[in-house]
Amino acid sequence: MSIQITQNDKKVISAALLAVVLLVGLFYAERARKEQSKSVKNDMICIQVVTKARNPKTGEIREFSTPCDVPVGWIKSGINN
Count of alpha carbons within 13 Å of 63, Cβ hemisphere only? Answer: 4
**Based on the domain organization, do 49 and 77 belong to the same domain?**
yes
- Do both 58 and 27 map to the same domain? no
Q: Are residues 77 and 47 in the same domain?
A: yes
Same domain, 10 and 28: yes
pLDDT at residue 80 greater than cutoff 70:
no
Q: The pTM is what?
A: 0.44
What is the radius of gyration, based on Cα positions, of the chain?
Answer: 24
Taking only the tens place, the pLDDT of each residue in 25-42 is: 888 888 877 776 665 555
Structural domain for 4, as ranges: 1-37
Alpha-carbon span 79 to 77, nearest angstrom: 7
Phi, psi of 36 (to 5 degrees): -70, -40
For residue 19, the surrounding DSSP H or E stretch is helix 7-37
63 and 31 part of one domain:
no
